[in-house]
């Protein structure tokens, strides 16, 4: 808890261990925000993609999210974000929320930092990218033979993904807990 030696930061972005995620979720005071946080985490979608999905819920079929190309620099014309039972639940609840994610990243980052403080989790490196990078790191750890599926689902090319998501120093306890959250993704 707050021990800098145990932090995982890749490319200036914090990657959470399962125990940290559990503490943060417990620290989030409003159910509405827990839902938003879990939707970002268990989908691995970019913050802007979840904002877009909220406005276009027809792209969630109950099992996957179809993400059409929305920006010129996107690698793929479209992609399908795979979801397991945690992701399906979180995204469906998110789409029933009264409000979308905050339009300003800074507001979400302030929320994340406040929740980390409440949870007793170090906030160094925590940003809007943290949930996405955490999820992809967890998937790569649990499904090393499925890297191409993971990278396609996340919208990364293999080189980018290999550079950032392999060799994350999760403990055996982390891996045992990650298994619970990622089970059923493949």
| Domain parsing of the chain, residue ranges | 4-182
144-149, long-range: CB within 8 Å, 24+ apart, which pairs?
146/186, 149/82, 149/186
Distance CA 45, CA 48 (A): 8
Q: Which residue has the higher pLDDT, 163 or 33?
A: 33
Structure tokens at 48: 């802007």
List the one residue out of 1, 14, 6, 19 whose CA is nearest residue 181.
19
Lowest mean pLDDT among 17-21, 22-26, 164-168: 164-168
Q: Cα–chain-centroid distance for residue 3?
A: 22
Distance CA 90, CA 60 (A): 12
Question: What mean pLDDT comes out for the span 39-43?
Answer: 98
For residue 165, what pLDDT band results from cuts at 50, 70 and 90? low
State the CATH architecture for 4-182.
Answer: Orthogonal Bundle (1.10)
Structure tokens at 103: 């339009």
Distance CA 1, CA 19 (A): 9
Give the 3-state secondary structure of residue 174: helix
Does pTM top 0.75 for this prediction? yes
């Amino acid at each position: 808890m707050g021990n800098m030696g145990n932090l995982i930061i890749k490319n200036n972005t914090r990657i959470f261990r399962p125990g940290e995620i559990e503490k943060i979720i417990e620290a989030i005071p409003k159910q509405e925000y827990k839902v938003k946080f879990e939707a970002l985490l268990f989908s691995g979608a970019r913050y802007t993609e979840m904002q877009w999905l909220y406005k276009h819920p027809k792209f969630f079929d109950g099992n996957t999210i179809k993400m059409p190309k929305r920006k010129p620099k996107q690698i793929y014309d479209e992609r399908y974000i795979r979801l397991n039972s945690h992701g399906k639940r979180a995204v469906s609840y998110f789409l029933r929320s009264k409000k979308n994610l905050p339009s300003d990243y800074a507001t979400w980052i302030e929320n994340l930092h406040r929740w980390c403080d409440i949870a007793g989790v170090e906030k160094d490196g925590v940003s809007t990218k943290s949930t996405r990078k955490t999820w992809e790191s967890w998937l790569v750890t649990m499904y090393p033979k499925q890297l191409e599926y993971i990278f396609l689902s996340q919208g990364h090319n293999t080189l980018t993904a290999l550079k950032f998501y392999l060799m994350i120093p999760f403990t055996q306890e982390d891996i045992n807990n990650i298994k619970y959250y990622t089970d059923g993704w493949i």
